[in-house]
Amino acid sequence: VCAASTPHFIDLTQVRHVVLVLSGKGGVGKSTITTELALALRHAGKRVGILDVDLCGPSIPRMLSVGRPDVHQCDSGWVPVYTDAQKSLALMSIGFLLEDPDEAVVWRGPKKTAMISQFVSDVAWGELDVLLVDTPPGTSDEHLAVLENLKKHRVDGAVLVTTPQAVSTGDVRREITFCKKTGVRILGIIENMSGFACPHCSECSNIFSKGGGEELAKLTGSVFLGSVPLDPLLGSSIEQGKDFIESFPDSATFSAINSISQTLLESLQT
Ligand SMILES: Nc1ncnc2c1ncn2[C@@H]1O[C@H](COP(=O)(O)OP(=O)(O)OP(=O)(O)O)[C@@H](O)[C@H]1O
Ligand code: SF4
């Protein structure tokens, strides 16, 4: 682990908004949604950063096709990796700092939280409109470590990602309770894998009952940011590290993601 750096104080003064992306359990598409929201916001002309703290599987570098680059340090901390020449999408992943990608999962307790604290505090983000923080699934000590470090500065709130199936379980409710207990504002709920978008005729079929996310938002007094269908074209873009938005700008799935990103921006401005 590249932890030989001297500690720095977190400097998010040039970051306008900090948003946590949470999910009650793994596999609901939290990292996919984080990636697509970042791409949609960039598409809308925003400068975006992603902090990938998902120790269970730091997948964002793969989704953005940046591999495992060497991370460099400047006077104010680790320099994020930029996905484009315009430096409009900056990424820092805990995966960059591991010699072995499977290393993080074997860490326990204090070592894990100490590493996260240092990681969260030591990135030189520069000027950003939105920083999205992809957290591990569930609510754990790692979440508290992330929050403790970020909150010293400022967190605007959290976006909760769920699926039609997961909404009926207690996982997402636990996430809501976590936000309430830690004083994190819920910016909104996103229902992912909501219906199946057929790649042949673009028809969307509801395999599982839809609308749970919206209902949950109403019940908890949160904003429903929107739903994203299960779309094989999105799945393969993510797997191949391709920009879905560039490849399928006219798709209903892009339009859903774009509308969520705009509602999120509005929510951040109120
Ligand atoms: N809307 C979608 N349409 C098609 N495939 C999707 C969609 N959302 C997610 N996927 C696919 O589902 C799988 C899991 O997604 P992802 O890795 O984003 O989940 P996650 O919640 O971040 O999981 P974890 O936290 O356990 O890493 C990925 O293979 C991804 O490509
Ligand atoms: S929605 Fe069903 S019927 Fe229409 S193209 Fe897709 S698979 Fe065929």
Q: Is residue 193 in a domain?
A: yes
Q: Is residue 232 in a domain?
A: yes
Q: Is residue 5 in a domain?
A: no
Q: Is residue 3 in a domain?
A: no
Would you list which residues are annotated within the binding site for [4Fe-4S] cluster?
A: 198, 201
What is the domain count for the chain?
1
Would you list which residues are annotated within the binding site?
A: 24-31, 198, 201
How far is residue 191's CA from residue 163's CA, in Å, rounded to a whole number? 5
Which residue, among 151, 224, 161, 116, has the nearest Cα to 25 in the 3D structure? 161
- Quote the tokens at residue 16: 């306008």
The one-letter amino acid at 78: W
pLDDT, one tens digit per residue, over 101-150 is 666 556 667 777 777 777 778 888 999 999 999 988 877 777 777 877 77
Q: Which atom of ligand 2 is least distant from the CA of 203? A: 1
Query: Domain of 171?
Result: 15-269
- Is residue 52 within 8 A of residue 104, CB to CB? The reply is no
Q: Scanning the structure block, which residue is given the tokens 């990796």?
A: 81
Mean per-residue pLDDT, 46-59: 87
pLDDT, one tens digit per residue, over 184-224 is 999 999 999 998 888 888 777 877 777 788 888 888 888 99
Q: Is residue 175 in a domain?
A: yes
Q: Which atom of ligand 1 is least distant from the CA of 23? A: 21
Q: Is residue 183 in a domain?
A: yes
- Quote the tokens at residue 149: 């470090």
Query: Residue 135's domain is classified under what CATH number?
Result: 3.40.50.300
Residues with CB under 6 A from ligand 2: 198, 200-201, 203
pLDDT, one tens digit per residue, over 2-46 is 344 444 445 677 899 999 999 988 889 999 999 999 999 999 999
